[in-house]
Amino acid sequence: MSVWQNAQKWLDERFGLHELREFMEHKTVPQHRYSHWYFFGGMTLFLFGIQVATGILLLLYYRPSPNEAYESVQYIMTQVRFGWLIRSIHSWSANLMIFTAAVHMFSVFFLKAYRKPRELTWLSGMLLLFLALGFGFSGYLLPWNTLSFFATKVGTDIAGQAPIIGKWILVFLRGGEDVTGATLTRFFGFHVAVLPGIATVLLAIHILLVQRFGMSVPPSVEAEWQATPSARHEMRFFPNFLLRELMAWYVALAILGGLAAFKPWELGVKADPFAPAPPGIRPEWYFMFMFQTLKMIPAKIWFLEGELLGILTFGLAFLLWVLLPFFDRGRGGRAQRFIVGAGVFALAYVVVMTFYAYVAK
């Protein structure tokens, strides 16, 4: 008996590995014309893993204080071996992760994978997406450059517009009235401790729920399968699906490498809190559709302030979106068409406003 076989036997006796092996051998994934959308969830998970790994490496050198943050990132990029690569991959991977998470969300929406019994899977996924946005917002400030400093100022200002609790949110986020060193240490704390802690728990719940209920089959495919049971196809999760997923991960890795080598993430100029805000301040691309809307909204609509109305509308829209599985109870006809229409509108709105924001500057 080889050492490997001995080790397997030893573990099997204690942990029942054969049950896990058996489970893996029998786990299947539905195979149909929309199966490729399944990969985006896995890709998001892979990119999250990259974030954790590169984030830990950056943590070895990063110093979260206004006097040292910029210099430490500069040190990482110039002096630390492969520091430029790690920092660049961390930044690009963050953006790609939000992109793949958004694609995953919209695919779940349009394939109606959120319906009973997967309401909580959708809910945990949505919370994970918000957490990813929180990661992006908090991480953006950490290099302490001019663009991130003023974007954080504008971003927290917008959060401060929320009714009743706005002021409290602003002070809580900034650690005071203004964006200062206190904001930086606070954002650092959110970015490397608070958010990862919550994300890990939510991610575990999300994956467990996916595992518990299996992959959803879109209603149209399900109807076809019920009509023609021979048309039903399933793929073994291990190794067939996992190998395909692995291919998707490698593609993501190649894209990341290319971006890091040809478009390394810029460091910019160190933030000067006393300097006037430079022109062209803008948040990360995934906040641009909201930023552009708030910029375009009139100052006063009826008796409400335009910006406040915009924030309230976005808040309500997000709430409805999150709670979607609880009022989409599978009723056919007009209700379904309305929900699909709302989804198409939301997607088109986000895409068009994001592009418009970059064209309009």
Partner 1 sequence: MRMSPSSSGEPGPSGASKGKRRVREQRTKLACVVKRCRAGHPGAGGVLGALFVWCCLFSLAALSLEAQAKNSCLDCHSKFDPPLGINAEDFGSSVHAQKGLLCTSCHGGDSSSDDMERAMSKAAGFRGHIERSQVPALCGKCHSDAAYMRGFNPSLRTDQFSQYQTSMHGKMLARGDTHVAVCVDCHTAHTIHPPNDPRSSVYPANVAQTCAHCHANAEYMKGYKIPTNQFALYSTSVHHDAIAVRGDLSAPTCSTCHGSHGAAPPGVASVERVCATCHVFQQQLFDSSPHKVAFAAMGAAGCITCHGNHAIQHPTDDSIGTANTAFCVKCHVDGDAGYTAAATIHTGLLKLNQEIERSDEILGRAQNAGVEVGPTILALSEARDDLTKARVATHSATPETVQQDTQAGLKVTDKAWQAGQVAMRELKYRRQGLAVSVAAILLVLVALALLIRKIETPSPGETR
Among 35, 240, 297, 339, binds partner 1 (CB under 8 A): 240
List, in sequence order, every residue forming a beta bridge with 28; answer none if it has no partner.
236
For tokens 């949505």, the residue is 126
115 binds partner 1 (CB under 8 A): no
Among 17, 133, 169, 267, binds partner 1 (CB under 8 A): 267
Query: Which CB, 61 or 321, lies closer to partner 1?
Result: 61
**What is the x/- site pattern for partner 1, positions 18-57, by CB under 8 A?**
----------------------------------------
262 binds partner 1 (CB under 8 A): yes
Residue 284 CA from chain centroid, whole number: 13
d(CA 217, CA 30): 7
Query: Which CB, 87 or 186, lies closer to partner 1?
Result: 87
250 binds partner 1 (CB under 8 A): yes
231 binds partner 1 (CB under 8 A): no
- The answer, yes or no, to whether the previous bond of 117 is cis (omega within 30 of 0) is yes
The one segment of 54-62, 213-221, 243-251, 306-314 that binds partner 1 by CB under 8 A: 243-251
List, in sequence order, every residue forming a beta bridge with 300; answer none if it has no partner.
305
Among 7, 56, 261, 320, binds partner 1 (CB under 8 A): 261
Among 197, 239, 298, 315, binds partner 1 (CB under 8 A): 239
The answer for residues whose C-beta is within 8 angstroms of residue 281's C-beta and 6 or more apart is 147, 150, 151, 154
272 binds partner 1 (CB under 8 A): no
Query: Which CB, 82 or 349, lies closer to partner 1?
Result: 82
Angle at 22 between CA 20 and CA 28, to 5 degrees: 100
Among 254, 304, 335, 360, binds partner 1 (CB under 8 A): 254
Query: Which CB, 145 or 293, lies closer to partner 1?
Result: 145
SS3 per-residue string spanning 44-109: HHHHHHHHHHHHHHHHCCCCCCCCCHHHHHHHHHHCCCCHHHHHHHHHHHHHHHHHHHHHHHHHHH
Shortest reach from residue 217's CB to partner 1, in Å: 20
Determine which helix (DSSP H) or strand (DSSP E) holds 301, and give its type and residue range: strand 300-301
Written as six digits, the tokens of 135 are 């990661």
The answer for residues whose C-beta is within 8 angstroms of residue 55's C-beta and 6 or more apart is 90, 192
- Give the residue from 137, 120, 325, 287 showing the smallest Cα distance to 202: 120
Query: Which CB, 42 or 196, lies closer to partner 1?
Result: 42
Query: Which CB, 239 or 315, lies closer to partner 1?
Result: 239
Query: Which CB, 77 or 173, lies closer to partner 1?
Result: 77
251 binds partner 1 (CB under 8 A): yes
**What is the x/- site pattern for partner 1, positions 58-97, by CB under 8 A?**
----------------x--xx-----xx--x---------
Among 223, 266, 298, 338, binds partner 1 (CB under 8 A): 266
d(CA 255, CA 242): 20
d(CA 77, CA 31): 44
Written as six digits, the tokens of 20 are 């896990």
The contact set with partner 1 (CB under 8 A) reads: 74, 77-78, 84-85, 88, 239-240, 243-244, 246-247, 250-251, 253-254, 257-258, 260-264, 266-267
